Amino acid sequence: MEVLKELRKSLLLALWFVVLTFPIMVIRVNTITDTIEWRWERAILMAVGSFVGSFLWKFLLARQEARKSRQTAKGSSEASDDGASAQKSLTERLLARLGWTRDTLREKKVAIPALAILGAIVIVFPFVTSIYQSNIMISALIYVILALGLNVVLGLGNMLHLGFAAFYAIGAYTYGLLNHYFGVGFWIALPLGAAASAIAGILLAIPVLRLRGDYLAIVTLAFGEIIRLLLVNLSGITMGPSGVKSISRPGLFGLDLSYTQAITYTYFICLALVIFTVFIVHRLENSRIGRQLVAMGEDDIAARAMGVNTSRAKLTAFALGAVWAGIAGVLFAAKTTFINPDSFKVWDSVLILCMVVLGGMASIPGVIAGALILILLPEYLRVFSDYRLLIFGAVLVIMMVFRPGGMIPKRRKAYKLRPEELQGSAAVPVGGGEGDAP
């Protein structure tokens, strides 16, 4: 009976879609011959497509529900079952098929060769592929830094920030303008760009200290636009919409680098900065300030009751997030050698946001994967470039429904009990070492 009901619902939905898309899908006015073409075959296609799509959608949703309820049943029957380990992730199920567990990946004899292979590929990459590929990879790495920066604000502090591209712009323009007017080099501009961006972060954070959620999102959105409009309109200083041209590439002890060499060099700088970012952000997560941020993001009142200075935590989060955006901006200016306000639109802020959400909030591997996928896939799928936004939207919707935690969700740290504690009670769980490696 259930199935019949669902089928009827899908049928109605398909009919509705046919009606809805009728004017654009079926009717076409041929302006040359002044006739109307009726393309009925498209209506049929639409009907079948939406029928199958809707049915599949419902089937998958039902399956997810069933899995969830099975887990809760299991979780409550075994008190010792740790919530995180009850939930078998997709990766775990794939690994299980190979006869592995998550721990196998952490074992030294698997982890070290895997890391070594990855490292070798990453190092060899610019030498074996074309400059075009290296350039794409540099963009992707820059976005990895950006996404990791936003992750500090969004993933840890749980604050919706829709103007992140503004900090990116501040970093880029710091280098661009300093280079243009004073001939400042890349390596000096790098910390300056980060600092300028951090200061902007603090300046933005001061007025939004009391805001949360939607209101914060609106203010940050406006901030992003203000910065972009300033860059457009302060044409005396920033050269307006035409942008800053011929910015120098990163220098290497005054050596003269060919174009190819310069790109390869930039690639390695990006790579080093990505590793540096990952290292710092990972340290931050487990630090006192990181935990204050997480606490504040989870529950503002409880955090304050526990003695978290939420004002300072917010300022720190905005400043620390902005630092990485500033660094990414300097890298971007050095890579493209030309910047204009068009590179820092709302769309870029949204794209960075999507990387964090799609990859997995607060999860470093997730954010990296999100950034790489969202930059690399469109580059390699240029054939479908007309449908890029359509696919993008569909993927986001599907992800949010079926994997709300992102591709690689944050794994909550599970504590291992010390042996002397184990003697106390027999029923305590040993939460298998799935925390991040120290």
Partner 1 sequence: MLRLEGIKTFYGNIQAIKGISLEVNEGEVVCLIGANGAGKSTTLMSISAIVPPREGEIYFNDEPISRLAPDEIVKMGIVQVPEGRHIFPGLTVQENLDMGALLRRDKEAIGKDLDYVFELFPILKDRKSQAGGTLSGGEQQMLAISRALMASPKLLLMDEPSLGLAPLLVQQIFEIIRKVNTESGTTIFLVEQNANLALKIADRGYVMETGRITLTDTAANLLENEDVRRAYLGV
Which spans of this chain sit near partner 1 (rule: CB under 8 A)?
75, 79-80, 82-84, 288, 291-292, 294-295, 298-299, 301-309, 412-415, 417, 424-425, 427-429, 431
Rounded Cα–Cα distance for residues 281 and 207 (Å): 25
Closest contact distance (angstroms) between CB of 415 and partner 1 is 5
Residue nearer to partner 1 on the CB measure, 247 or 303: 303
Closest contact distance (angstroms) between CB of 354 and partner 1 is 21
Structure-token match 């079952």, residue found = 81
Closest contact distance (angstroms) between CB of 73 and partner 1 is 14
Q: CB of 152 within 8 A of CB of 322?
A: no
Residue nearer to partner 1 on the CB measure, 86 or 111: 86
Closest contact distance (angstroms) between CB of 220 and partner 1 is 22
Residue nearer to partner 1 on the CB measure, 86 or 396: 86
Q: CB of 431 within 8 A of CB of 82?
A: yes
Rounded Cα–Cα distance for residues 54 and 59 (Å): 9
Per-residue burial over 321-358, b = 16 or more CB atoms within 10 Å of its CB, e = otherwise: bbbbbbbbbbbbbbbbeebbbebbeeebbebbbbbbbb
Residue nearer to partner 1 on the CB measure, 301 or 383: 301
Residue nearer to partner 1 on the CB measure, 79 or 128: 79
Rounded Cα–Cα distance for residues 148 and 213 (Å): 20
Residue nearer to partner 1 on the CB measure, 28 or 282: 282
Residue nearer to partner 1 on the CB measure, 32 or 79: 79
Closest contact distance (angstroms) between CB of 424 and partner 1 is 8
Tell me, letter by letter, the H, E, C secondary structure of the chain.
CHHHHHHHHHHHHHHHHHHHHHHHHCEEEECCCCEEEECHHHHHHHHHHHHHHHHHHHHHHHHHHHHHHHHHHHHHHCCCCCHHHHCCCHHHHHHHHCCCCHHHHHCHHHHHHHHHHHHHHHHHHHHHCCHHHHHHHHHHHHHHHHHHHHHHHHHHCCCCCCCHHHHHHHHHHHHHHHHHHHCCCHHHHHHHHHHHHHHHHHHHHCCCCCCCHHHHHHHHHHHHHHHHHHHHHCHHHHCHHHCECCCCCCCCCCCCCCHHHHHHHHHHHHHHHHHHHHHHHHHHHCCHHHHHHHHHHHCHHHHHHCCCCHHHHHHHHHHHHHHHHHHHHHHHHHHHCCECHHHHCHHHHHHHHHHHHHHCCCCHHHHHHHHHHHHHHHHHCHHHHHHHHHHHHHHHHHHHHHCCCCCCCCCCCCCCCCHHHHHHCCCCCCCCCCCCCC
Closest contact distance (angstroms) between CB of 315 and partner 1 is 14
Residue nearer to partner 1 on the CB measure, 84 or 211: 84
Closest contact distance (angstroms) between CB of 431 and partner 1 is 4
Closest contact distance (angstroms) between CB of 64 and partner 1 is 19
Residue nearer to partner 1 on the CB measure, 58 or 304: 304
Residue nearer to partner 1 on the CB measure, 190 or 303: 303
Closest contact distance (angstroms) between CB of 291 and partner 1 is 7
Closest contact distance (angstroms) between CB of 86 and partner 1 is 10
Residue nearer to partner 1 on the CB measure, 246 or 425: 425
Closest contact distance (angstroms) between CB of 83 and partner 1 is 5
Residue nearer to partner 1 on the CB measure, 42 or 212: 212
Closest contact distance (angstroms) between CB of 79 and partner 1 is 6
* Residue 247 dihedral angles phi and psi, to the nearest 5°: -80, 145
Rounded Cα–Cα distance for residues 170 and 147 (Å): 16
